[in-house]
Amino acid sequence: MCELLGMSANVPTDICFSFTGLMQRGGHTGPHQDGWGIGIYEGRACRTFHDPHPSAWSEVAELIRNYAIKSENAIAHIRKANRGKVCLANTHPFTRELWGSHWLFAHNGQLRGIKQRPLRHYSRIGTTDSEHAFCWMMDRIRKRFPERPQNGTELIRYIYKLALELDKSGVFNFLLSDSVNLYAYCSTSLCWITRKHPFGEARLIDTGEVWDFSKLTTPKDIVTMIASRALTDNETWTQMEKGELLVFRKGIPVNGDW
């Protein structure tokens, strides 16, 4: 299995604190040592960093921790391979372009028979069920919406429909972003927390490190983190329900009925 981490914020924010905790689980406090990756948006473009080596000892991960790239949207993933060998092509998050935006996708779980679903516009580069599922969803979204729909709810509903359909084939926890929204679908396990004024201290489970966010933020900042398992032990993370889709924009859940 794998672990996911996502961030949605209303101001450019670095993901260093949470990333530090997650990276420990890639070979040190957790078994997810078959590569890791992160995608960090700047507007409609995202830059990705991928490494097929364990994150706990990765020089690229060390750079991300120290370089503190700020973003309103980011998705990270550490991999414990179950389908597909350990190589760059199988390292999440995967990215494709649609409507002039990068889309990012990372998955935790397994999907039976997914590769029997034909792909049209987007093709798999690696051999994972995850990338196949992403390409299939992108194909469907592209077909249904040749251009970005004016009505954001329609898009969310459609993504939810696709998520529910694939979830029937196995375990399909995922994080997806179209550069504007961060979509978090819980098949078995995802939790989230929103940090906002008044900010307090947070302590990482995996390192014991404590950060005082009140010293790093302004009262207007809102930052939501989504993770496979809670990353801190002195804050209250909300478990998502099975079959639930949450959509975050600028750190805030998008309200709606889908």
Which residues of the chain form contacts with a second copy (CB under 8 A)?
Answer: 42-50, 52, 59-60, 63, 66-67, 87-89, 96-102, 121-126
16 annotated active-site: no
Q: How far is the CB of 107 from a second copy (least distance, A)?
A: 17
Nearer to a second copy by Cβ, of 43 and 243: the residue is 43
Q: How far is the CB of 124 from a second copy (least distance, A)?
A: 6
Question: Does the CA dihedral 27-47-7-121 come out positive or negative?
Answer: negative
Per the listing, tokens 């409507």 go with 99
Q: How far is the CB of 18 from a second copy (least distance, A)?
A: 20
Q: How far is the CB of 100 from a second copy (least distance, A)?
A: 4
Q: In the chain, at which residue ranges do the beta strands (DSSP E only) sit?
A: 2-14, 36-42, 45-51, 70-79, 94-98, 101-108, 173-177, 182-186, 191-196, 201-203, 210-212, 222-227, 238-239, 244-249, 252-253
Q: Which two tokens stand for residue 87?
A: 């190589």
Active-site annotation holder among 2, 46, 135, 191: 2
Nearer to a second copy by Cβ, of 28 and 70: the residue is 70
Nearer to a second copy by Cβ, of 130 and 187: the residue is 130
Angle of helix 16-24 relative to helix 59-67, nearest 10 degrees, comes to 160
Nearer to a second copy by Cβ, of 67 and 214: the residue is 67
Q: Which two tokens stand for residue 181?
A: 């929204």
Active site residues: 2
